[in-house]
Amino acid sequence: MKKGFLWGAVMLLSYTSFAQTREAQLLDSILTSEYNKKQFNGNVLVADKGKVIFEKSYGLANVETQEKLNTNSIFELASVSKQFTAMAIVLLQKQGKLQYDEPISKYIPELIFYPVITIRNLVVHTSGLPDYMELFDQKWDKTKFATNQDIVNEFAKYKPALEFMPGEKFEYSNTGYAFLATIIERTSKQSFGEYLHANIFKPLQMKNTFIYRSRYEPKKVNNYAYGYVMDSMANMVLTNTFGKEYYTYFLDGIVGDGMVNSTIHDLLIWDRALYGNNLVNEKDKELIFGASKTTDGKENKYGFGWIVNTQEKYGKTASHSGGWAGYVTYIERHLDNDKTIIVLQNHSGPLTKIPSKSIRQVLYSEPFDKVIDSSIAATPEELVKYGGVYASDSFPMKITVFPKGNILYARATGQNPFPLSAYPKNVFRFAPARIELTFIPEENVMIYIQGKNNVRFKKE
């Protein structure tokens, strides 16, 4: 699923003790640093040939109660869910209930006006279907929950044109995976969640993995990691606080492109199963982890629910990321070297990182990127003097600066707040956007530098 990330700052560190091998020490050092820089809040598991070499939790599961994460915390997987949707399609094909190259209109006759789109097109993102989220943003009554059947109905009603001919090129499509969930339900005569439970989660004993739509069908889930974003005052909040007409609320009834919930341990079970033949055989796995060609002649590196790459250093890898309603998720499997990286986060924002590059560097004993950081610590009392609303006749927006705890934030008119790192001589920086703010407190002046912009602001 897609949408931009937002960020917040009030966090605590929690962890499960782990044998401190050299690799574990390095990984913990890297992740602790990223946590302290407000770049990470979540759970990590790293395995080599199925053996866990590192697992740890960083931060809060529940901001309101201050409950800390633990390594059994349950996270919404967002688009990492797609690999389970794709596997369900493979299993239904093996059960003789569908064929990959059949038209989707055979199973969803309401879409007969899309006669050449096949199930395979949906799985590998070559359908040309437009984004259902944009359609629902424009046309849907946002006081009601949308479901997969509603997507079918709205597409049948408005008949939006394809963005390109099926098979012509790759374009990531949540719509395709929502339609796949409908096909799974209609061919299996079960709900999407029931089919996945009976055919994947239960056989593999993934006991903490299930479909959960927290707004559409709320229920008590123990040890749940709530997803948080930042409001206009830099507070960490659930997206529910933005109202029922906010997209993560009224689209919560939709499955297939997301809504699988799981833990780092269950995802390792899933990883191990994919090396065996309990669910699928070697021919199936060639398809799942295989690339294809589009009619424009380009390689499509999206297999069946996985992005597939081959690199000289790491061999063949299969990975997928996800982002939705405060969750930032990631799984990466090194198929030639049998290494596994699983990252589940429940805070997201402009500084949020998926630390896969650093983890790879540890796993392969690579040199680390040299980082020069001369930032300093600042106390809440010291930050107060910089607060205020700054304006300039030569800049179209005002900039509000305010402290929260020991972090200084800045917010341009109509924009989200962003956290600033403190440096000597009243300098503050936001590295992702290369913004530098230099304050002259005695003159109530702030100098804003970004690229070629060098603007002098005065505190109102």
Residues 242, 193 contacting (CB under 8 angstroms):
no
Catalytic hit among 14, 17, 29, 79: 79
State the angle between helix axes of 174-188 and 148-158 in degrees (0 to 180), rounded to the nearest 10.
110
- How far is the C-alpha of 44 from the C-alpha of 220, rounded, in Å? 24
Distance, in Å, from the CA atom of 125 to the CA atom of 130, rounded to the nearest integer, reads 11
CA distances from 252 to 157, 221, 238, 346 (A): 21, 17, 14, 17
Alpha helices in 323-424 (DSSP H): 356-363, 380-383
Q: Write the Ramachandran bin of 205: left for phi over 0, alpha for psi from -120 to 50, otherwise beta.
A: left
Residue 339: other Cβ atoms inside 10 A:
23
Active site residue 356: no
Do 182 and 146 meet the contact criterion of CB atoms below 8 Å apart? no
**Using an 8 Å Cβ cutoff, are 287 and 213 in contact?**
no
Partners of residue 330 on adjacent β-strands: 321, 343
Answer for the pair 50, 334: CB distance below 8 angstroms, yes or no: no
Q: How far apart are CA 137 and CA 145, in angstroms?
A: 12
Answer yes or no: are the C-beta atoms of 424 and 364 closer than 8 Å.
Answer: no
Closest CA to 145 of 251, 219, 242: 251
End-to-end CA distance of the chain: 41
| CA gap 302, 280 in Å, rounded | 19
Pairing of strands 75-76, 60-62: unpaired
**Residue 457 one-letter amino acid:** F
Q: Is residue 293 packed enough to be buried (19+ CB in 10 Å), middle (13-18) or exposed (0-12)?
A: exposed
Class of residue 231 by CB neighbours under 10 A (exposed 0-12, middle 13-18, buried 19+): middle
> 325, 133 in Cβ contact below 8 A?
no
Instruction: Look at phi and psi of residue 267 and say left if phi exceeds 0, alpha if psi is from -120 to 50, else beta.
Output: alpha
Residues annotated as catalytic are 79
